[in-house]
Chains A and B, each alone.
Chain A
Amino acid sequence: MRRLKIVPDNTKIPFVKYRHIAVGLSAIIVLAAVVSMFTKGFNFGIDFKGGTVIEIATQGPADISDLRTRLNNLGLGEVQLQRFGKDTDVLIRIGTEHGQPMDDGGQVVIGKVKAELGDKVEYRRIESVGPQVSGELIRSATLAVLISVAAMFAYIWFRFEWQFGLGAVLSIVHDVMATILVFSFFQLEFNLTTIAALLTIVGYSMNDTVVVFDRMRENLRKYKKMDLGELIDLSINETLSRTIMTSVTTLIALISLFIFGGEVIRSFTFAMIFGILIGTYSSIYVAAPVLMAIGITREWGSVQLGRGKANADKKA
C-alpha cells in the first residue's frame, strides 16, 4: 500500500545557510509588530476596553440600517452593528463613553437597548464589562503571557542549557509578536480568548522547538566533532517530517473548528491556526539561528555523554 508522505525521507535542506534571510524576515516582523502596536494599536474587545456586546436574533432578516438609526437615537455614544453569521443575527457593540467611567457594568445601557428593541427580538447573548474589571483583565492577561514565557525559559534551562532556553524564549517572543502584528494590522478584535490562543501558541511553539532541541542534544552526543551548523541542519532535517506531520494534524482539527465551530469561537480559532503556522516556522528558523549565534558549549554534550554511558553500563 502506498503511503502518503508529506516530507520525503532523508531531506537535506541547508536551513542554516539561509538563516540570514530568515533572521532578517523575523526582525522585520518583530519591528513591524512594534510599529503597528504604537501606530494602529489594537481593536480591543470589551474584555479589555469595557463596554457592552449584545447579540440579537430578529424574526426575519435583520434590517441593520433601521436598527442602527434606532440605537443611535438612544444617545449611548459609539454604537456598532454587524451581521453575525446568519442573516437574522446581529451583533451590537456599545463602547464606553470616551474617557468617562461607565455606569455600573453597563446596566443602564442594556436596559435602554432592551426597551428600544422590545421583546420581538431574541437576546442571544449579553456581555458587559465595567472599566474596573477590564483594567484588571488587562493586567492579569499580560501577567499570564509573561509568566508562561518565564516558566518555559526556566523549564528549558533546567532540561537543556541556558543557550537553548534563550533560543526558545526568542522564538516564543517572535511568535507572540507575529500574532500581535496580525491582530493589530488587520484590527481583529483582541480579547480574553485571544490571550488564551496566544498562550496555546506559546505552548505549541515550545512543543515544536523542544523536539528539535532534543534531537540536537542527542546528535551533540553522537557526533562530537561535527560542525555546529551541520549538526543543526541534520537535527532539523531529521525531525522535519514529525514537525510537519504534527502541524498538519493540528491544523486539520483546527480548520474543522474554524469552519463548523460557529461564529462565537471563530476569531479564537483563527488566532490558533495562524499561531501553529508561525510556530512551525519559528521552531525551525528562530530557535536554531540563535543557537548558531551564541554557540553551545560542547563540554556539556560530552559530560552528558559520560553520564549516559555510565547508565548504559549499569544496564548492561
Chain B
Amino acid sequence: MLHFERWKIVLIALVTLAGVFYTAPNFLPKTALEEVPSFLPHKQINLGLDLRGGSYLLLEVDTATVNKDRLQAQMNDVRKALRDKRILYTGLGVNGDAVTVRISKPEDVETATKAIEGLGAMVSANLLSGGLPQRDITVTATGGLITVTNTDAAKLARAQSAIQQSMEIVRRRIDELGTTEPVIQQQGLDRILVQVPGLDDPSRLKALLGQTAKLNFRLVDTSTTAQQALATHTIPAGSEVLYMTENPSQPLLVQRRVMVGGDSLTDAQPGFDSRSGEPIVSFRFDSTGGRLFGEVTRDNVGKPFAIVLDNKVISAPVIREAIVGGSGQISGNFTVQQANDLAILLRAGALPAPLNVLEERTVGASLGADSIRAGLIASIIGSLAVVVFMMACYGLFGVFANIALVVNVVLIMGALSLLQATLTLPGIAGIILTIGTAVDANVLIYERIREELRVGKTPIAAIEAGYNRALAPIIDANVTHFISAAVLFELGSGPVRGFAVTLAIGVVTSVFTAVTVNRFIVSTWVRRARPKTISL
C-alpha cells in the first residue's frame, strides 16, 4: 500500500496532466485558441443546442409521395409503350398500389405484357436482397386486365435513394444559410435529423426545408378557361387546374406536360429587374434544357406559359419571342428575401418528396447562456458545499478526498473536450451528481479505515486494509451506476444522452481518482508523516 511502483506514479501524473492540458482550452478566449500550436490540445467542450442555442429538427421523408409519383410515371410509360405497339386499351390508371390497364383485343394481351415487362429494370436494394439485383416491377395478366406492381426491393431502393437525395439537398440548402457546424444525419429508414446551432429564429430554416421546390415550365391550356372547366367539371385530358401563389383564389388551366423541368437549371441568382426594379430570380439552363426551351417558345409565340413551383403557379407570362439564350428570369411580386430564398432553393435542387417536421426543439441563445450561468453557479456552490462537508467529517483525510475531487472534475472536463462529447444542461446536472457521488468511493474507504481502527489495528495497517477491502464494493457500486448510464445513452436522445455521457465519464474518472490519486496522496502522507495515531 505504501509503496507505489514507479510506473503507477508516472501513469497517475500523466493522466492528471493530460486532464489539465485538455481542460485548459476551455478557459481561453476563442482568439487565443487560434494561436495555440496544433500539437497542443485546442478543442473546447462541445456545447449542446440547449446551452448554445439552436434548432433541432426531426424530419420525415414522405415516401408515400415517392411511390405515388413513381406510379404516375409508370402509368405514362405504359401508355407510351402501348401506343408504340398500336395496342388498343381502356381504363389505364393508377389503382391503389398498382397500375392497371384493360387490353381491348385478347390477341394483343401477350404482346402488351411483353412490352410492359420491357419497361422494367433491375434494382439492387443493398440490404434486403443481399446485394443481388432484382426486378423492379412484376406484370400479371388475368384475362384482359394487366396489373403492374412494384416489388418490395424496388420500393426499398427508391426509399433509400429518396432519403440520400433528400439529405444532400437539405445539406445544400442549410449550407446556404451560412451557419456554423450544422449536423445532418440519417435516422432509421426515412428520417433526417438536422441540428443547426446558433440560429435564434428557425422559421427561415423551416421555410427552406418545407418546400420540395419542384420547378417546371409548362404551357397554359388556352382551349378553355379554368373557371369554365371547374364550373362544368370538364377539365381537358392532359391538363390540370393550378392556383396562383400571389392570389390563391385565381385558378389557371395548365397542361400536365412539362416543357422544361427544374432539373435542367444550372444556376439561379436573385437580382432586380432592369426596368421595373422589382426583385427577380434569374436562371440559366443547361444546354439540353436551353435548346428545348428555345424550341417550345419558338413554336408558341403569343401564348402564355406557366412557371410552376410545387404545383403553384408563380407567374404566367405571355411568350413574346423565342427564348434561345438558355437563360431567363422569374418575376412574381417577390420580396427581396423571397427572391433570395427561391434562388437558394433552385440552386440546391428539388427534394424527391416533401419533408414533414416530426419534432422540433429550439432554444434561444439567451436561454442557453442563462442555463450555462445557472449550471456553473450550481456546480461551484455544490462543489464547495461538498468540499466543506468532507473536511468537517474527515479532517485532513477530507482534504485528501477533496484534492481527488478536483482532479476528478478536471478529468471529466478534459475527457469531454478530448472526446468532443456534447455537454447539455442535463449533462451539467450529471457532473454535479458525479461530484456528489464521486466522494462515495472515498467515503467507503474512510469508513472502512475507521472500522479497522476501532478493532485495534495500527494506523498503517488500518489504512492498508481500508483500501483493499473497500475495493470490491467500490467496483460493484460503480458498475451498477455505469450500467444505468449505458442504457440511458443507448435509448436516450439529445440532452438526455448528454446526461448519460457525463455520468458514465464521471463513474470512470471517480473510480480512478479515488483508488489511485487519493491512495497515492494518502500513502505519500503516511510515508512522510509516519503517524502514530490518525484522527479520522
Contact = CB atoms under 8 A, between A and B. Distances in A.
Given A193-B495, A265-B429, A259 B358 contact: no
A288 to B, nearest CB: 16
A210 interface: yes
Contacts of B300: none
B393 A104 contact: no
B241 interface: no
A124 B429 contact: no
Interface in B439-468: 439-440, 443-444, 447, 450-451, 454
A265 B425 contact: yes
A251 to B, nearest CB: 7
Select the residue from B363, B454, B473 with max chain A CB neighbours within 10 A.
B473
Contacts of B50: 264
B435 interface: yes
Contact of A152 (B390, B426, B483): B483
Contacts of A4: 389, 392-393
B485 interface: yes
A141 interface: yes
A1 interface: yes
Contacts of A132: 60, 358
Nearest to A206: B480
Contacts of B481: 203-204, 206-207
B378 A259 contact: yes
A257 B454 contact: no
Given A159-B476, A242-B443, A252 B395 contact: no
B392 A254 contact: no
Contact of A256 (B381, B439, B536): B381
A273 to B, nearest CB: 11
B395 A3 contact: yes
A3 B392 contact: yes
Contacts of A141: 491
Given A202-B484, A257-B432, A262-B370, A105 B392 contact: no
Nearest to B479: A155
Contacts of B390: 249
Interface stretch (A5-13, A20-28, A36-44, A182-190): A5-13
Contacts of A249: 386, 389-390, 436-437, 439-440, 443
Nearest to A141: B491
Contacts of B290: none
B472 A214 contact: yes
A253 B435 CA distance: 7
A98 interface: no
A124 B364 contact: yes
Contact of B374 (A55, A211, A246, A261): A261
B203 interface: yes
B393 A252 contact: no
A254 B447 contact: no
Interface string A31-69: 000000000000000000000000101000000000000
A285 B359 CA distance: 43
Contacts of B451: 238
Contacts of A218: 469
B184 interface: no
Given A144-B492, A155-B483, A193-B495, A242 B432 contact: no
Interface string B354-390: 0011111111101100110011011101110110011
A125 B49 CA distance: 11
Contacts of A151: 483, 487
Contacts of B454: 9-10
Nearest to B62: A104
Given A3-B395, A214-B472, A260-B381, A253 B433 contact: yes
B512 interface: no
Given A125-B363, A262-B374, A245 B476 contact: no
Nearest to B496: A196
A207 to B, nearest CB: 4
B406 interface: no
A29 B215 CA distance: 63
A282 to B, nearest CB: 14
A95 interface: no
Nearest to A86: B370
A254 B435 CA distance: 10
B374 A253 contact: no
Contact of A203 (B371, B443, B480): B480
B389 A252 contact: yes
Contact of A260 (B377, B473, B499): B377
B480 A248 contact: no
A251 B432 CA distance: 10
Contact of B360 (A126, A193, A256): A126
A202 B361 CA distance: 28
20 contacts: A104-B356, A105-B358, A107-B360, A123-B364, A127-B361, A132-B358, A143-B491, A151-B487, A155-B480, A199-B488, A207-B480, A208-B477, A238-B451, A242-B443, A245-B443, A249-B386, A250-B440, A253-B382, A257-B433, A265-B426
Q: Ordered nearest first, which 4 A-B pairs have the shortest CB separation?
A: A203-B484, A253-B436, A256-B382, A262-B374
Interface of B: 50, 58, 60, 201-203, 206, 210, 356-364, 366-367, 370-371, 374-375, 377-379, 381-383, 385-386, 389-390, 392-395, 425-426, 428-429, 432-433, 435-437, 439-440, 443-444, 447, 450-451, 454, 469, 472-473, 476-481, 483-485, 487-488, 490-492, 495-496, 499-500, 503, 535-536
